[in-house]
């Protein structure tokens, strides 16, 4: 299968930066000015979400590689180039006018000190001031149009991502575990859960409508056991720092991760005067923890893990997975987020993916690791691995985790930079994220893979200490 080669230009050389001594880490904050403009907030720290040098010097290459995602963005890129050119033409004229006003101001001061007439100079100063206001106003309009358009452009695929248009072009990297064999016809979780009395879809519909569920008894305890098991493993063995973030996020935060402005229909917004949305994933707060900051490069990699409920409207699901726990408006997830210097981010990406895989291994769930093609990746991703768990009741593999490296894409939007050795010119950090893993999908995978002929479900050994020693969930 063909490969894109353009992504190689985005990866700097290999310079390894040591961690700082204990107690010496520093964080430099940079003010982020948010201005209300249209349907989202324009973050003044933003320039272009993609590298402006690439857009300016290699527009045809950028166009070609964005096209591998399946969208023709030629017109947007042409308009973006025009806006960038206009902006660059305004800047020297504006600076010239400012210098001229400053010079005139100095001349006026000297004229007044010497008693000479200054009326003509004062008039010239007013004319320069009017010109400055005109240029500043035009610059603000051009930058607003440029930033609004740039926010809708997806990330460039990395060179190692296979070309393709749909999930059928994704590449299997590895498998772990064999699907279980049954001497009976295995049931789907939407039958197992209600039969055990631990999942209630009908009452959930009465409470909140379609695509919700109520877990009770052993079902609620199993969900809590999964959350605690995942958090314990990631914090004690994988080196992540646990965070309990807000479950609501501002427009600025959602713009930083790439959810806004393009995917607002997928979000739940709080009514009234609140500038808040329910988070679709803990990636949003974890990736925005350092928004507008300049970090010490010796701190990396920084790894965070968080459990949160997640909320999605599933506006683009088009009626897929309407039964069961696969695709709900509210679901629980343990999320992994990492910050890395550019030359180390791909090693961090591989490690993060293996950390998510370890959850499935210890739960004894068969899964496969898929490398997504260019046409199946998320908006912000440069490269993504999906972990797909085996579901006997559906006789197939289904996604349970998605692990992505966004390179500097989110960092540019959120203004997250670092200084090597704590000094020098600031550079954009790379951000990475992955489910570690989706709790509801892990629960349904346990139900389907652990089901027995008598209707009971065997609890994975690694979870039994979290379940008070319970080994089996019995019917009734």
Instruction: In whole angstroms, give the CA distance from residue 227 to residue 230.
Output: 5
- Annotated catalytic residue 37: no
Q: Produce one character per residue of 217-237: b if its CB has 16 or more CB atoms within 10 Å, e if not.
A: ebbebbbbbbbebbbebbeee
* 293-296 and 417-419 strand pairing: parallel
Catalytic annotation, pick one of 136, 399, 419, 464: 399
Angle at alpha carbon of residue 217, lines to 215 and 219, rounded to 5°? 45
Catalytic annotation, pick one of 4, 213, 402, 435: 402
DSSP conformational letter for 451: B
Instruction: In whole angstroms, give the CA distance from residue 15 to residue 342.
Output: 9
Residue whose pair of structure tokens reads 């001497």 in the numeric block: 183
Residue 448: Cβ within 10 Å count:
26
Angle at alpha carbon of residue 198, lines to 197 and 201, rounded to 5°? 90
279: its two tokens: 């988070």
- Annotated catalytic residue 402: yes
User: Contact, 379 vs 263, CB < 8 A?
Assistant: yes
458: its two tokens: 């065997």
469: its two tokens: 């020693």
The runs of H, that is alpha helices, within 20-117 are 52-57, 59-67, 74-114
Instruction: In whole angstroms, give the CA distance from residue 349 to residue 473.
Output: 36
Catalytic annotation, pick one of 101, 211, 221, 312: 312
- Annotated catalytic residue 420: no
Catalytic annotation, pick one of 69, 146, 221, 441: 441
Q: Which residues are catalytic?
A: 312, 327, 399, 402, 441
């Amino acid at each position: 299968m063909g490969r894109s080669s353009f992504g190689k230009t985005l990866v700097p050389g290999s310079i390894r930066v040591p961690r700082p001594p204990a107690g010496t880490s520093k964080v430099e904050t940079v003010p982020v000015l948010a201005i209300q403009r249209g349907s989202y907030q324009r973050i003044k720290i933003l320039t272009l979400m993609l590298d402006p040098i690439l857009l300016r010097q290699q527009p045809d290459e950028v166009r070609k590689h964005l096209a591998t995602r399946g969208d023709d963005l030629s017109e947007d890129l042409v308009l973006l180039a025009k806006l960038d050119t206009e902006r660059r033409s305004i800047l020297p004229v504006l600076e010239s006018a400012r210098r001229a006003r400053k010079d005139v101001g100095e001349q006026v001061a000297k004229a007044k000190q010497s008693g000479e007439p200054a009326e003509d100079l004062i008039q010239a100063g007013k004319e320069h001031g009017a010109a400055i206001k005109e240029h500043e106003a035009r610059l603000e309009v051009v930058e607003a149009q440029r930033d609004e358009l740039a926010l809708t452009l997806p990330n460039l695929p990395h060179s190692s991502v296979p070309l393709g248009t749909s999930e059928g072009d994704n590449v299997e990297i590895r498998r772990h575990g064999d699907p279980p064999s049954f001497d009976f016809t295995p049931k789907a979780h939407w039958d197992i859960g209600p039969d055990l009395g631990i999942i209630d879809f009908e009452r959930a519909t009465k409470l909140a409508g379609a695509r919700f569920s109520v877990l009770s008894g052993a079902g609620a305890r199993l969900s809590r056991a999964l959350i605690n098991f995942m958090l314990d493993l990631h914090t004690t063995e994988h080196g992540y720092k646990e965070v309990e973030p807000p479950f609501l996020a501002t427009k600025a935060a959602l713009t930083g991760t790439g959810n806004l402005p393009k995917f607002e229909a997928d979000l739940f917004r709080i009514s009234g005067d609140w500038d808040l949305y329910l988070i679709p994933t803990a990636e949003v707060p974890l990736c925005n923890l350092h928004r507008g900051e300049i970090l010490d490069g010796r701190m990396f990699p920084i790894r965070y893990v968080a459990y949160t409920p997640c909320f999605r409207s599933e506006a683009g699901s088009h009626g897929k997975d309407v039964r069961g726990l696969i695709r709900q408006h509210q679901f629980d997830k343990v999320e992994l987020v990492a910050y890395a210097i550019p030359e180390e981010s791909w090693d961090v990406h591989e490690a993060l993916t293996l950390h998510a895989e370890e959850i499935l291994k210890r739960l004894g769930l068969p899964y496969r690791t898929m490398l997504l093609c260019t046409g199946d990746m998320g908006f912000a991703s440069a490269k993504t691995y999906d972990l797909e768990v085996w579901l006997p009741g559906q006789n197939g593999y289904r996604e349970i985790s998605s692990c992505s490296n966004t390179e500097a894409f989110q960092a540019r939007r959120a203004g997250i930079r670092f200084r090597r050795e704590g000094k020098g010119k600031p550079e954009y950090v790379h951000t990475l994220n992955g489910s570690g893993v989706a709790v509801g999908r892990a629960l349904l995978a346990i139900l389907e893979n652990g089901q027995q002929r008598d209707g009971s479900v065997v609890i994975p050994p690694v979870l039994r200490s979290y379940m008070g020693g319970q080994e089996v969930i019995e019917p009734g």
